Amino acid sequence: MKLPFYYSFKEFTDNYNSDLKQWLKENSDKDEIYYLNELYSNKGYKEFNKSTPQYSTIDMSFGRQGIGYEYDIFDFVSIVIGVIEDNFKKKFCLNNENELAEFIYSFEGEFEEFTAHERFWFISNTTYLLMPFLTINKEIRKKKVIYNENNEYVKDEKGNLIFEEGNFPVGEIIFNHDKYNVFLDEMKLISTFILGKIAPEIQEEKQTKSNLTTPEKIVLLEHLGVFARLVKDGVSPENEYRIIYNLIGGSYTNIKKYCLNRKTNNKSSKDYQINEKHKSTIRNFYNSKIY
């Protein structure tokens, strides 16, 4: 059986015993702890249990391997909806926003079928678990902008847009953030249930994690000569950010901002700055000989 994913704690607990029994029947060499670890790590519960879940995307417009970014839910959903709409336009030959809005109004398929894209690659399975929170807002508008045969806005002699009056169906893909927030609360309940059974394993994992913050880790790498070596080897800035990200983990976007500010000495923003406190922490950490 495929590992199940539930959107509510009640649904999870109502089906837990039967799901576990069926899974153990098909995986007789495994036990309940193994099953719960698989659920927690591979089905998305771990990701949704974070205080502010981040969603990973690779932008393939930067080359063959692309560049990885992490987004909060607002920016991520904006990208996902943009990808879906772009795929609608290409597959169904929709030439302008009027045609797109009318098509969305009558769309009855599955959004998940339109998330593959030549530019954006969604590398987390949590992307598809968010699909139920996408819906279509439908309304009838009394006017719409007019396009010419080249699908450009038609304007009057003063440069103002010209509208056509009537009753026009307009559909818009939206994300239900209220429903999503309730969902996150349910995920925390499910995660608490799972962690209550596998706490020793999770606690051991936590003990292996660093107590250093992202800017402190960057200072440590600089102290160890990592940045100087990257410059000597002619590594490009973007690849430098990716290497640092792979070394210390966390948010790629934040690491890039710290590295940019470090390199340019940009003081225009108080955010993402490496300050003397970070440097002092690393000096004490390194000189203590207790790692």
Distance CA 236, CA 252 (A): 16
pTM of the model: 0.63
Enumerate residues 6+ apart whose C-beta is below 8 A from 165: 142, 143
Percent of the chain with pLDDT over 90: 42
Distance CA 121, CA 144 (A): 34
In sign, the C-alpha dihedral spanning 63, 64, 67, 72 is positive
- Phi–psi pair at 58, nearest 5 degrees: -105, 125
Distance CA 175, CA 73 (A): 10
SS3 54: coil
pLDDT in tens, 117-152: 888 877 666 777 889 999 999 999 999 999 998 889
Cβ contact 55:70 at 8 Å: yes
For residue 207, the model assigns a pLDDT of 47
SS3 102: helix
Work out the pLDDT band at 289, boundaries 50, 70, 90: low
Bridge partners of 139? Answer: 170
Task: Give DSSP secondary structure letters for 180-225.
Answer: HHHHHHHHHHHHHHHHHHHHHHHHHHHHTS----HHHHHHHHHHTT
Residue type, 176: N
Q: Burial letters for 117-143: b for 16+ Cβ neighbours within 10 Å, e otherwise?
A: beebbbebebbebbeebbeeeeeeeee
Mean pLDDT of the residues in the chain? 85
Closest among 287, 253, 257 to 272, alpha carbons compared: 257
Q: Which of 5-14, 99-108, 167-176, 207-216 has the lowest mean pLDDT?
A: 207-216
For residue 245, the model assigns a pLDDT of 86
Distance CA 99, CA 118 (A): 22
Enumerate residues 6+ apart whose C-beta is below 8 A from 173: 81, 84, 85, 104, 111, 134, 135, 136, 137
Distance CA 117, CA 18 (A): 38
pLDDT in tens, 157-213: 999 999 999 999 999 999 999 999 999 889 889 988 888 888 765 545 554 556 788
Closest among 55, 68, 64 to 238, alpha carbons compared: 68
Residue 104 predicted with pLDDT over 90: yes
Residue type, 81: I
Work out the pLDDT band at 251, boundaries 50, 70, 90: confident
Cβ contact 218:248 at 8 Å: yes
